[in-house]
């Protein structure tokens, strides 16, 4: 056993986390060239790739550079120092960016054929140029602010992810001078140049705003000659260091961190090949950055602005629209009684295939129901115009006890969450910001209701955020139940995050950092025992990321014991499947499709008596040890079987959007068997939910549901 343990610690058995994350970005980029995707959706994938890569620099590369600066001597699980990881990242990314530009050119040609032209300023015809020039005079020129750099004027601040033009001018004395012009974020990056009255409503032409600024740079410097104008874009360190133990007011500390983020160190600058070395040197010196972090790529810089194309009214170039199925059959006319539906049996919702409305209805009804005494919930990423937050405010105004944990440390949503926290506090909601040193990532709602002289607790546990927008874009699961022990666990959880309660014996929930790691490990060890006893062992684990070394080692041990394991890991996977003697019984799949795979499902066969959990936690050290996370059991046998037979099996059948991970950490597309059409799990699940609703409608008035078997 000691020999096996040493072997399982071997760095060669682990994929580097940063390189695994880049491999995921490559899978996203593949969708931009997949002809099965509509044209405008392919443009969106390019935008997503660009946005994801910027975040990778802001967070992951910034973290590596911080480790190097701090002299951290440790190595990652795969044996690389921070400097070695950074070197490999720098080596890999230029090829990815070059590939993205090649894909862009192919996509641009296909869009042009479909009537959507992304043009260079030099390629505009006379009519288009007249439209562009008029727009510059009326809308762009008044907003621009040329900033000179000379002994009397310091080098200007360059904000994160902003598009800028480095300009060199000469005056009457012939001396060259440097200036910078920021391309305004307030204006669209893609400027429409279709002349009014032309085309048939399906023709669209755009020019890049930065090219428009370059073309008219001379108007910004009258009396000077513009001899050079070159776009550039920088990415800054966006990680915030929060000293919670020393913070008297966490909200104020977060606000200060958001302001400081604007001035984070520069971790990347992208420039076009035409930029001369002397201009690049000026930027590198004054931005105090490493020359190795300058990346030269063909234009356009910052392709995340391609998101704007999604606003074009061309449904023929987009995914077919759909309406999420309302599978919880409630009353008609007025808002129906969600409490009655939950009392009849547990409800499992699979978004976006099924409507998020029952969750909204739960909060709304609770806010206005005179029998509801209290509402408690966690908020991680809420979004704008949240009907759920509005309902919480209504509940507080109505005099109910409302407690809400707003996670201020949700990266890049801090400002939005601060605004919601203040609005909730102003309405009388008890707002807390979580436990010191722990980010609260769990997704839980607790509604306390008086019924017939007794107290009944209704609980929602989800895998995704309480955000009505992402509920249409991400695949997530939600469980609605009034199981008494689940309600007790939910109460204990909220006492943990709002007070000083410590509970180590949750009845239903697996809770991090209390017992989630230990109880998940026990479930895996049980499958090992089944396999060793000749009863077989089977696990299907679906998550966003698999990074934790202890969990990976345990999965290796399970494979060695003969447990059959399928891992559906959308993003980062540091485990190597298919390694002889180590992981030949493990398969790793990644599904990248129309919807972002965000649900977590942990299925343990348990010799024919399965345990199935859903929740917020991935198998990463931060989720298991440094966050408040919850996994909840799906105890209704009918719902548990649905998760296995309908959801998990659909993903394991997918031959349209699935990649299989190889032992070396690379991925290859899964091909459909010869003669068969590719099976798209997400499309199949959409059709499946629609057919369920149609069958119910044909049956007429819904009958009372029969309960499935529950454990315990």
Query: Is there a contact between 294 and 166 (Cβ–Cβ < 8 Å)?
Result: no
pLDDT over 70 at 250, yes or no: no
Length of the chain: 712
> Binning pLDDT at 50, 70 and 90, where does residue 6 land?
very low
> Binning pLDDT at 50, 70 and 90, where does residue 437 land?
confident
CA dist 483 and 508 (Å) reads 10
pLDDT over 60 at 702, yes or no: no
pLDDT over 50 at 313, yes or no: yes
The pLDDT, as a whole number, for residue 439 is 81
Which tokens sit at 499?
A: 């007070």
pLDDT over 60 at 641, yes or no: yes
Torsion of CA 157, 161, 163, 164, to 10 degrees: 20
What is the β-pairing status of strands 266-271 and 294-296? parallel
Give the model confidence (pLDDT) of 104-158 as tens digits: 999 999 999 999 999 999 999 999 999 999 999 999 999 999 999 987 788 999 9
Which of 222-231, 385-394, 548-557, 648-657 has the weakest average pLDDT? 385-394
SS3 content of the chain, % helix, strand, coil (to 5): 40, 20, 35
441 as an active site residue: the answer is yes
Hey, what CATH class is 338-498 in?
alpha beta
* Burial class of residue 555 (count of CB atoms within 10 Å of its CB; 0-12, 13-18, 19+): buried
> Binning pLDDT at 50, 70 and 90, where does residue 699 land?
low
Q: Which residue of the set 350, 351, 441, 530 is catalytic?
A: 441
pLDDT over 70 at 705, yes or no: no
CATH topology agreement for domains 32-317 and 338-498: no
At the second CATH level, the architecture of 510-679 is 2-Layer Sandwich (3.30)
SS3 assignment for 452-465: CCEEEEEEEEECCC
Which tokens sit at 437?
A: 């040193």
Higher pLDDT, 203 or 271: 271
Torsion of CA 121, 126, 131, 134, to 10 degrees: 90
Higher pLDDT, 354 or 329: 354
The pLDDT, as a whole number, for residue 111 is 97
The pLDDT, as a whole number, for residue 434 is 67
CA dist 520 and 513 (Å) reads 12
The pLDDT, as a whole number, for residue 535 is 94
pTM of the model: 0.91
The pLDDT, as a whole number, for residue 575 is 98
The pLDDT, as a whole number, for residue 501 is 67
pLDDT over 50 at 392, yes or no: yes
Which CATH number describes the domain made up of 32-317? 3.30.1840.10
Please state the rounded mean pLDDT for residues 56-68: 90
Which tokens sit at 484?
A: 């008494």
What ranges do the domains of the chain cover? 32-317, 338-498, 510-679
- CA-based nearest residue to 430, from 369, 500, 375, 361: 375
The pLDDT, as a whole number, for residue 261 is 45
Which of 166-175, 246-255, 503-512 has the weakest average pLDDT? 246-255
The pLDDT, as a whole number, for residue 353 is 96
pLDDT over 90 at 386, yes or no: no
pLDDT over 60 at 564, yes or no: yes
> Binning pLDDT at 50, 70 and 90, where does residue 502 land?
confident
Backbone region of residue 13 per phi and psi (left: phi > 0; alpha: psi in -120 to 50; beta: other values): alpha
């Amino acid at each position: 056993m000691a020999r096996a343990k040493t072997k399982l610690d071997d760095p060669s058995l682990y994929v580097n986390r940063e390189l695994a994350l880049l491999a995921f970005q490559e899978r996203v980029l593949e969708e931009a060239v997949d002809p099965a995707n509509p044209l405008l959706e392919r443009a969106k994938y390019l935008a997503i790739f660009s946005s994801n890569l910027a975040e990778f620099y802001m967070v992951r590369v910034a973290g590596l550079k911080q480790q190097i600066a701090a002299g951290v001597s440790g190595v990652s699980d795969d044996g690389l120092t921070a400097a070695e990881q950074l070197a490999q990242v720098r080596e890999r990314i230029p090829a990815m960016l070059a590939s993205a530009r090649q894909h862009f050119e192919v996509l641009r040609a296909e869009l042009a054929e479909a009537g959507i032209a992304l043009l260079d300023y030099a390629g505009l015809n006379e009519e288009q140029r007249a439209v562009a020039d008029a727009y510059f005079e009326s809308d762009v020129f008044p907003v621009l602010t040329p900033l000179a750099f000379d002994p009397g004027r310091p080098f200007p601040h360059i904000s994160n992810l902003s598009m800028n033009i480095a300009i060199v001018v000469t005056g009457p004395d012939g001396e060259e001078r440097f200036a910078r012009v920021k391309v305004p974020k307030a204006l669209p990056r893609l400027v429409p140049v279709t002349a009014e009255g032309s085309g048939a409503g399906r023709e669209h032409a755009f020019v890049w705003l930065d090219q428009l600024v370059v073309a008219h740079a001379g108007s910004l410097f009258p009396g000077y000659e513009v001899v050079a104008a070159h776009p550039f874009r920088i990415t800054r360190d966006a990680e915030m260091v929060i000293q919670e133990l020393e913070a008297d007011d966490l909200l104020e500390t977060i606000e200060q961190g958001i302001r400081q983020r604007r001035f984070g160190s520069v971790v990347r600058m992208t420039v076009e090949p035409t930029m001369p070395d002397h201009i690049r040197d000026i930027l590198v010196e004054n931005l105090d950055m490493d020359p190795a972090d300058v990346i030269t790529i063909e234009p356009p810089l910052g392709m995340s602005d391609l998101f704007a194309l999604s606003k074009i009214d061309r449904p023929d170039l987009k995914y077919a629209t759909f309406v999420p199925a309302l599978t919880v059959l409630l009353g008609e006319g007025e808002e129906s009684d969600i409490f009655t539906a939950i009392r009849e049996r547990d409800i499992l919702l699979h978004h976006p295939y099924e409507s998020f409305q029952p969750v909204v209805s739960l909060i709304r009804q609770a806010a206005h129901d005179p029998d509801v005494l209290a509402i408690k919930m966690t908020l991680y990423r809420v979004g704008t115009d949240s009907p759920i937050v509005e309902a919480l405010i209504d509940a507080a105004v109505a005099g109910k006890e409302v407690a809400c944990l707003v996670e201020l440390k949700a990266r890049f949503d801090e400002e939005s969450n601060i605004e919601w926290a203040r609005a909730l506090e102003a309405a009388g909601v008890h707002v807390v910001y979580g436990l010191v040193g722990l980010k609260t990532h769990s997704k839980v709602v607790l509604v306390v209701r008086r019924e017939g002289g007794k107290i009944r607790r209704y609980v929602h546990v989800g895998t995704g955020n309480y955000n009505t927008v992402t509920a249409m874009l991400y695949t997530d699961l939600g469980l609605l139940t009034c199981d008494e022990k689940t309600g007790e666990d939910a109460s204990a959880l909220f006492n943990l995050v709002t007070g000083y309660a410590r509970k180590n014996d949750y009845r239903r929930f697996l809770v991090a950092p209390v017992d989630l790691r230990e109880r998940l490990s026990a479930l895996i060890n049980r499958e090992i025992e089944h396999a060793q006893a000749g009863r077989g062992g089977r696990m299907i684990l679906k998550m966003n990321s698999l990074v934790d070394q202890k969990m990976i080692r345990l999965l290796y041990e399970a494979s060695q014991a003969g447990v059959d394991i399928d891992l559906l890991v959308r993003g980062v996977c540091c485990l190597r499947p298919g390694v002889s003697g180590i992981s030949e019984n493990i398969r790793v799949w990644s599904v990248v499709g129309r919807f972002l795979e965000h649900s977590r499902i942990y299925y343990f066969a348990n010799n024919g008596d399965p345990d199935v959990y859903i929740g917020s936690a991935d198998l990463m050290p931060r989720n298991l040890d440094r966050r408040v996370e919850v996994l909840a059991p799906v105890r209704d046998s009918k719902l548990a079987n649905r998760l296995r037979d309908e959801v998990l099996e659909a993903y394991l059948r997918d031959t349209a959007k699935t990649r299989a991970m190889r032992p070396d950490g690379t991925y290859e597309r899964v091909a459909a068997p010869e003669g068969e059409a590719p099976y798209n799990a997400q499309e199949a699940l959409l059709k499946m939910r629609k057919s369920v609703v149609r069958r119910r409608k044909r049956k007429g008035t819904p009958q009372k549901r029969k309960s499935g078997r529950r454990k315990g």
